[in-house]
Homo-oligomer: A and B are copies of this chain.
Amino acid sequence: MSALLDSLRQICGTAHVLTHDDPRTDLSAWETDWRRRDFGNALAVVRPANTAEVAAVVKACANTFTAIVPQGGNTGLVAGSVPDASGQQIVLSLQRMNSVRAIDPDNLTMTVDAGCILQNLQDAAEKAGYLFPLSMAAQGSCTIGGNLGTNAGGTQVVRYGNTRELCLGLEVVTPRGEIWHGLTGLRKDNTGYDLRHLMIGSEGTLGVITAATLKLYPLPAAQLTAWAAVPSLEAAVQLLGLAHQHLGAGLTGFEVMGQFALSLADKYFPNLRVPLYKATPWCVLLENSDHESEAHARSQFERLLEVAMNAGCVSDAVVAESIAQAQGLWQIRESITSAQAQEGLNIKHDISIPISQIPAFVQATDALLLQEIPNVRLVNFGHLGDGNLHYNVQAPQGGHDQVFVRDMEDRVNQLVFDSVARFKGSISAEHGIGSQKVDKLPRYKDPVAIGMMRAIKSALDPQNIMNPGRVLAP
């Protein structure tokens, strides 16, 4: 292996090949996954400066059959970007590749290195007068390469789609160390198979994304937020339909939160002053982005809420009067994860269900779990606008959270995922498979699809050096 390390040092410079040989070097930031469940041991952390260096690193690894784990901000939630414990895998960190290569206003695109932090891209777009709409809790540290590798979702998917819908072109280093120059800014290009979409969401198992051309949008003139109490999940789904009809593409956010989830937010963050939740089982956060004016956005919202109240699907509602109030409402939504962590360890799910089936799914799955675990507590919230629920399971009041998770996680996962399958949903809506769900996939994914995935993996990475064991089990 020292020959490989010598090659890598020649390619990237000694300072950018970090190993455990120097006892002063702490590699844990690259070796430990975000949820602190996986602790790997890397042969080296390699930090190339540009695409040519990435290609040379991959070639050197291919020559020595060395496995490569591509890594961006290492904020993934399914342990897909950390090395295994063998000490034989290298982490290929894209963090030094963080330039915005170009912004093309008339084409509404920007071309960026994979290691750019998401929030920096939002800022660069805004500075140029445009919106890059990908948005999620980890945006201060996740990278666009990681967003693309995992096809990240977030809070504006109802309007702008997942990361894949925001990408027009890619530059990728293949498992052979070749460079695919696919950085097109075209909205129409029917010249062969769509390799871009194959790479996006493949979690680094088919190549290394080194750059991307992304879509920009005009900045909205105003963004307003409303909070509605709804009597049932059925009513929330009905409200979503009315919101599509009355706000059109202005509807950029539609989040649902259950009463218990909001009670935890209220308990641990009392200064957030959670509105309306005590009298209703569900609340909905709506966002309306308007290209005309704040006054127009407000009148649109008021019209929608009036129609919804008359239809009986909203019992009470507030529209934020200021940007600070709007941010406060979003903070409540985003505080739920932290609040439930303070309440204790819990069993998390990132699932999607056809929107029309969500009320029936929640009713059926709640009943199953309560039958299995009397008094179990369900922290249910998520992006209802795109059918994505974070359906989390918390120990009964007074139960020991660590014991609960240790003893019940497998059983609860199976109950929830089997129910997801019955309702034709997905066991991973936006987080991906990584290594965390790799053993579960064969039970829930069509076997013909898995067969095609394996054939493609073998064809493009016959040595199985790109992030092996992720997405597809060995």
Residues of A within 8 A of B (CB): 104-109, 150-151, 153, 157, 161-162, 164-165, 174, 178-182, 184-195, 197-198, 200-202, 206, 217-218, 220, 237-238, 240-241, 244-250, 290-292, 300, 352-357, 383, 386-388, 424-433, 437, 441, 444-446, 448-453, 455-456, 458-460, 471-472
Task: Name the CB-closest residue of B to A206.
Answer: B193
Most buried by B among A106, A424, A452, A458: A452
Task: Name the CB-closest residue of B to A152.
Answer: B190
Query: Are the C-beta atoms of B182 and A446 separated by less than 8 Å?
Result: yes
Which B residues are CB-close (under 8 A) to A186? 352-354, 387, 425-426, 429
Which B residues are CB-close (under 8 A) to A354? 104, 107, 109, 185-186
Which B residues are CB-close (under 8 A) to A179? 448
Q: How far is the CA of A193 from the CA of B203 in the complex (A)?
A: 9
Query: Are the C-beta atoms of B105 and A356 separated by less than 8 Å?
Result: yes
Task: Name the CB-closest residue of B to A290.
Answer: B248
Smallest CB–CB gap between A163 and chain B, Å?
Answer: 10
Main secondary structure of the interface of A (DSSP, over half): mixed
Query: Are the C-beta atoms of A192 and B248 separated by less than 8 Å?
Result: no
Query: Are the C-beta atoms of B446 and A387 separated by less than 8 Å?
Result: no
Query: Are the C-beta atoms of A241 and B425 separated by less than 8 Å?
Result: no
Given contacts A164-B194, A181-B446, A190-B429, 4 further A-B contacts (CB under 8 A): A179-B448, A180-B446, A189-B429, A192-B471
Query: Are the C-beta atoms of B188 and A153 separated by less than 8 Å?
Result: yes
Q: Residue A452 contacts which of B383, B426, B460 (CB distance < 8 angstroms)? A: B460
Query: Are the C-beta atoms of B352 and A189 separated by less than 8 Å?
Result: yes
Given contacts A218-B248, A456-B459, A460-B455, contact A184 B107 (CB under 8 A): no
Query: Are the C-beta atoms of A432 and B355 separated by less than 8 Å?
Result: no
Smallest CB–CB gap between A474 and chain B, Å?
Answer: 15
Query: Are the C-beta atoms of B426 and A180 separated by less than 8 Å?
Result: no
Query: Are the C-beta atoms of B201 and A198 separated by less than 8 Å?
Result: no
Which B residues are CB-close (under 8 A) to A237? 106
Query: Are the C-beta atoms of A107 and B197 separated by less than 8 Å?
Result: no
Task: Name the CB-closest residue of B to A187.
Answer: B386
Query: Are the C-beta atoms of A355 and B446 separated by less than 8 Å?
Result: no
Q: Residue A188 contacts which of B249, B386, B437 (CB distance < 8 angstroms)? A: B386
Which B residues are CB-close (under 8 A) to A185? 354, 424
Query: Are the C-beta atoms of B192 and A441 separated by less than 8 Å?
Result: yes
Task: Name the CB-closest residue of B to A246.
Answer: B291
Given contacts A193-B202, A201-B190, A452-B460, contact A106 B431 (CB under 8 A): no
Query: Are the C-beta atoms of A191 and B456 separated by less than 8 Å?
Result: no
Most buried by B among A162, A178, A218: A218
Which B residues are CB-close (under 8 A) to A357? 107
Smallest CB–CB gap between A111 and chain B, Å?
Answer: 11
Smallest CB–CB gap between A158 and chain B, Å?
Answer: 8
Most buried by B among A189, A201, A218: A189
Query: Are the C-beta atoms of B189 and A428 separated by less than 8 Å?
Result: yes
Q: How far is the CA of A179 from the CA of B447 in the complex (A)?
A: 10
Q: How far is the CA of A430 from the CA of B189 in the complex (A)?
A: 6
Going nearest first, the 10 A-B pairs with the smallest beta carbon separation are A249-B249, A197-B197, A248-B291, A106-B356, A459-B459, A188-B429, A189-B426, A455-B459, A187-B386, A180-B448
Query: Are the C-beta atoms of B187 and A193 separated by less than 8 Å?
Result: no
Most buried by B among A181, A186, A427, A471: A186
Q: How far is the CA of A153 from the CA of B424 in the complex (A)?
A: 29
Which B residues are CB-close (under 8 A) to A245? 218, 291
Query: Are the C-beta atoms of A200 and B194 separated by less than 8 Å?
Result: yes
Which B residues are CB-close (under 8 A) to A150? 190
Which B residues are CB-close (under 8 A) to A424? 184-185
Query: Are the C-beta atoms of A191 and B441 separated by less than 8 Å?
Result: yes
Q: How far is the CA of A171 from the CA of B450 in the complex (A)?
A: 14
Query: Are the C-beta atoms of B445 and A191 separated by less than 8 Å?
Result: yes
Which B residues are CB-close (under 8 A) to A455? 459-460
Query: Are the C-beta atoms of B187 and A387 separated by less than 8 Å?
Result: yes
Smallest CB–CB gap between A332 and chain B, Å?
Answer: 22
Smallest CB–CB gap between A248 and chain B, Å?
Answer: 3
